[in-house]
Structure 1
């Protein structure tokens, strides 16, 4: 059966949309009429002539969040482990989804599986939603007849990724809110409050203190050009992001980031933890080491570190041990190299890679906690100093006037 997208009118004349499975569009139209719906448009979900629908599905697939992927994988892993037929599992996942794009995607996957294709082949229709690592693990699980355990590992992996991303987002919320409030308060003071207060000194013939003169200049500048500065900032950010789309410029930017003291440690810890975790779960699923190294390297976000992982893959392919190949690159943490060497010696490489990833994630969490702990009081002190400067710039002329009166 094939998944079809439809548009139909209900008894009240309202347009409704959805996805149905059927052998043909004629059968789907008949099903809609049985539900008291008048079909307006019916087309295959994979080939919707309103290419707009197809574009919306592809747009969504590129942005399938870690939360949606984790939930989908957990549901599928649970259903497959209960020994239900795979097409029924996919149908159940589609029925449970509240998002039309996910429902349509899973129905298309089910259609391919019902036609006799493997699950990995069916997932290849959506490479943006299901990454290469995801598909490689599913393929390895199907070939080994261990799809249920592999899906369980994938569910755990995606849930861990979601949990890590949520912790990082929660850690960054307070600093960004603090910065936004600081910028808003200072801008309001400079644009609305300061001009009113300094207006009382306009008729005074006495020279104003340099601090007050500077404050008035900044206030006038912000009142006249604040909007233009904001537009220029937005345009600059958009231009910068566009420039980074070029691989050469993005690589030079990543090289610069790795040279920034303190930031290098955080970036290396993030990517090395992601590399070790991905490599561990791929090898545990039966993916060959060379193929697993290539996929794990692609998971890394920094292009410089990704090139280092590609060099490691070439060295291993030429006969070097994984620990020796990692030690030749300066980016991978020494603790990770030693744990990989221990895993190779004991024949338990997957477990040691997993422990290395956990150590890196723990170290990263502690580092980010320290940075956030220092940033918050530093921001409060900076804000206090800025407000103190504004207050002094306003009070100094008042003190001078009191002196003149006496």
Structure 2
């Protein structure tokens, strides 16, 4: 029995989409007619296999959000822990899901497992939905016969990763919004308010203070070229986005980021937490060390650090230790290296990696809190200074007029 995506029309004339199980498309069409629906198209979900990645993304909605993956993983872990086989658990979670594309992916995976495919092969057909770490961990759990335990670990991992992503996103959202509002307010003052105020000084016939002349020149420049500046800024953003898609450019940018005083430390801490957390769950699930290093490196977003981890893997393959190879790269936090060294010496690498991940995540949260606590007063001072400059530029000619009158 396979899974089929359908598009049908109900008696009210509305188009409905969904997923239904059946042996053949004809059987699915018959089931739709029995429900009072007029079938328009019935497509086997498993037809995404063998098609190009772009076609599969169009059919199955591309990537799955971290929040959705965390939810379905926790649901699968709960059901499998209760003694329900994976195929039935996938069907139940798919039925529970309210997102049609996510439901299609889950039903497709269930269909492939029912056909006899291993879990990792079924998941591999949807790399945008299930990362390599997810697939490798599931494969190790299936081979060891502890799929319930592995799913619990994956659920904890995906939830912790989602929470960390949310914290970083919310931390960056506030300063970005505050900066945009500040720029908009200052631009509105210069373009609309300042011209009306300084228009009074045009007929005075006296030399204006340098600060006032500079304010008028800035206001006139923004009025004449403000739209061009917006277009130029948009073009720069598009160009930067285009260049960052090139691996060579992205590698150079990532290396420079690591050299910056505050941003470099934050990046190393965040990426070290991701690596340690991923490597920990892989080792705990029974994945070999070399394979775990390979998969964990793909979780790291910074290309310079990812390449460093690949060199670490090569040295470990040649007989070296993980902590010595990481220390030789010079990128990774010393605390993480010491904890990994302790884990290798005591044959307790899993717990030491987990402790390293927890420590680095807490340090990341501390850095974020400190940066946010510093950014707000700095932004207030900067905005206050700019507005004070505008006010002084307007008031100085008035003060000079008062002195002339006296």
TM range (shorter): over 0.9
> Which residue of structure 2 lines up, in the alignment, with residue 126 of structure 1?
126
Q: Deviations over 1:41-69 (max 9, x none)?
A: 11222438xx99854344x332x111001
> Which residue of structure 1 lines up, in the alignment, with residue 362 of structure 2?
362
> Which residue of structure 2 lines up, in the alignment, with residue 281 of structure 1?
281
2:58 counterpart (56, 59, 79)? 56
Contact 2:266–2:364 (Cα < 8 Å) also in 1: yes
Q: Structure 1 residues 11 and 71 mapped into 2: Cα distance closer, same or farther (>3 Å)?
A: same
> Which residue of structure 2 lines up, in the alignment, with residue 29 of structure 1?
29
Q: Deviations over 1:265-291 (max 9, x none)?
A: 111101111111111110000000000
- Structure 2 unpaired stretches of 5+: none
Contact 1:46–1:54 (Cα < 8 Å) also in 2: no
Q: Structure 1 residues 305 and 55 mapped into 2: Cα distance closer, same or farther (>3 Å)?
A: closer
RMSD: 1.5
**Are 1:244 and 2:244 an aligned pair?**
yes
How does 1:30-109 map onto structure 2 within 5 Å? Answer: 30-47=30-47, 54-58=56-60, 60-62=61-63, 64-109=64-109
> Which residue of structure 2 lines up, in the alignment, with residue 404 of structure 1?
404
Q: Deviations over 1:319-351 (max 9, x none)?
A: 011122122110111111111111112111110
Contact 2:56–2:62 (Cα < 8 Å) also in 1: no
Cα distance, 1:237 vs structure 2: 0.9
> Which residue of structure 1 lines up, in the alignment, with residue 261 of structure 2?
261
Contact 1:45–1:54 (Cα < 8 Å) also in 2: no
More displaced stretch, 136-145 vs 266-275: 266-275
> Which residue of structure 1 lines up, in the alignment, with residue 144 of structure 2?
144
Work out the CA distance in 2 between the residues paired with 1:39 and 1:298.
43
Work out the CA distance in 1 between the residues paired with 2:125 and 2:160.
25
Work out the CA distance in 1 between the residues paired with 2:116 and 2:47.
20
SS in 2 for 1:16: strand
Contact 2:46–2:111 (Cα < 8 Å) also in 1: no
SS in 2 for 1:122: helix
Contact 2:46–2:112 (Cα < 8 Å) also in 1: no
> Which residue of structure 2 lines up, in the alignment, with residue 9 of structure 1?
9
> Which residue of structure 1 lines up, in the alignment, with residue 195 of structure 2?
195
**Are 1:297 and 2:301 an aligned pair?**
no
Q: Structure 1 residues 356 and 373 mapped into 2: Cα distance closer, same or farther (>3 Å)?
A: same
SS in 2 for 1:402: helix
**Are 1:214 and 2:214 an aligned pair?**
yes
Cα distance, 1:39 vs structure 2: 1.1
Q: Deviations over 1:242-275 (max 9, x none)?
A: 1121111111111111121211111110111111
Q: Deviations over 1:147-188 (max 9, x none)?
A: 000010000000000111111222223222211221111111
TM-score (norm 2): 0.96
Work out the CA distance in 2 between the residues paired with 1:324 and 1:167.
32
Contact 1:6–1:17 (Cα < 8 Å) also in 2: yes
TM-score (norm 1): 0.96
Number of residue-to-residue matches in the alignment: 402
> Which residue of structure 1 lines up, in the alignment, with residue 116 of structure 2?
116
Work out the CA distance in 2 between the residues paired with 1:119 and 1:306.
27
- Structure 1 unpaired stretches of 5+: none
